[in-house]
Amino acid sequence: MTGPYGVGIGWRPEIAGFVAELPGLRFVEVVAESVPATGPLPPGLAQLRERAVTVVPHGVRLSLGGAEPVEPARVAHLAAVAQRVDAPLVSEHIAFVRAGGLEAGHLLPLPRSREAVDAVCANVARAQADLPVPIALEPIAALVDWPDDELDEADFLTEILDRTGALLLLDVANLHANARNRGTDPLALLDRLPLDRVGYVHVAGGAEHSGFYHDTHTDPVPPAVLELVGALCARRRPPALLLERDGDYPPAAQLRAELDALAAAANFPPVT
């Protein structure tokens, strides 16, 4: 149960064969809701555990930012998966995914308000009470902004991390997407985030559609995102970087090249 280290990749059934053959791999992340709480583990994942590869469960449907209390059954599932894979930590998002009885089907942003900070901190505390390991919280990429923010992004995130004691799962692609779509400077935000709290870092690809940069996870990692990885590491190198790819899987050589580029940008040993 070692913490995430080095360059990792999001484990998905579609690329399980590719991931299994990465000789230097020490760390993967798995979507927590896709792992059953009982019964056999997905085959590729079980083999990675046998190789002592660290597996971090990544929740996507807890809705920690929802105004309603987080559903205990969802926390219990995340806790069970963490125990099954002997995870050193779990992660989730600063976001909500349902409200008023409707599923959004995606991560939606919170208003940067005191009320929202209170709501997310209360839900994180509820989750922490039932989780066997620490939780890392990930700020999301969002196209919409609420009209009445009381805090800026850095203060909003720092306050949530301070009050919950949670780790930060920093997504460099989200940082790029938000800055690009809002016309702000991602480095200025980096300078104000508590980088000593970073548990690990997400990196992913995206693409432009009708005037917006979308964090698709189905496109190559753009150079600007790799440059941000370098800028982050120049300030403080995180313990681990994880490549997220969720579809339109490229040929293995291309995926290996992306992993190598991450390793080079952060001066980690290559895993390929």
Partner 1 sequence: MTGASPPAGNGPLPAGGLAQRQAELVAALVAGGPPPAGFAPAPLAATRAALLRKRAGEVARHWPLLAAGLGAGWPSTFAGWAANRPTVGSLRDGWDLARALREQGALPPAGVEELVVRESRLRYDGRSAPRPRRLPAVARAGGAVAVQIAGRVRLLRPAPRPPAARSAGGDGVPDAAGSAAWISD
The CB-based long-range contact list for 182-190 (8 Å cut-off, 24+ gap) reads: 182/145, 186/228, 186/231, 187/228, 187/231, 189/153, 189/154, 190/228, 190/231, 190/232, 190/235
Interacting positions 207-236 with partner 1 (CB under 8 A): 209-212, 214
Say if CB 98 and CB 63 are below 8 A apart: yes
> Does residue 113 bind partner 1 (CB under 8 A)?
yes
Q: How far is the CB of 206 from partner 1 (least distance, A)?
A: 11
Give all strands (DSSP E) within the chain, no chain letters: 6-11, 27-31, 54-58, 90-94, 96-99, 102-108, 135-139, 167-171, 198-204, 207-209, 212-214, 240-244
> Does residue 36 bind partner 1 (CB under 8 A)?
no
Count residues contacting partner 1 (CB under 8 A)?
A: 46
Q: Which backbone phi and psi does 135 adopt, to 5 degrees?
A: -115, 140
Q: What is the DSSP secondary structure assignment for residue 95, as one 8-state letter? A: S
Please give, one letter per residue, the 3-state secondary structure of 16-83. Answer: HHHHHCCCCCCEEEEEHHHCCCCCCCCHHHHHHHHCCCEEEEECCCCCCCCCCCCCHHHHHHHHHHHH
> Does residue 251 bind partner 1 (CB under 8 A)?
no
Three-class DSSP category at 15 = helix
**Closest to partner 1 by CB, 172 or 265:** 172
**Closest to partner 1 by CB, 162 or 185:** 185
**Closest to partner 1 by CB, 100 or 251:** 100
**Of 4, 44, 66, 139, which one interacts with partner 1 (CB under 8 A)?**
66
**Closest to partner 1 by CB, 23 or 39:** 39
**In terms of DSSP bridges, do strands 90-94 and 135-139 run parallel, antiparallel, or are they unpaired?**
parallel
**Of 23, 40, 102, 196, which one interacts with partner 1 (CB under 8 A)?**
102
Binding map of partner 1 across residues 134-173, x = CB under 8 A, - = no contact = --------xxxxxxxxxxxxx-------------------
**Closest to partner 1 by CB, 153 or 171:** 153
**Closest to partner 1 by CB, 21 or 103:** 103
Binding map of partner 1 across residues 170-209, x = CB under 8 A, - = no contact = ---------x-xx-xx--xx--x----------------x
Give the interface segment with partner 1, choosing from 27-35, 61-69, 250-258, 260-268 (CB under 8 A): 61-69
Q: Say what the alpha-carbon torsion angle 5, 109, 70, 92 is, to the nearest 10 degrees.
A: -10
Binding site for partner 1 (CB under 8 A): 66-68, 96, 98-106, 108, 111, 113, 115-116, 119, 142-154, 179, 181-182, 184-185, 188-189, 192, 209-212, 214, 247
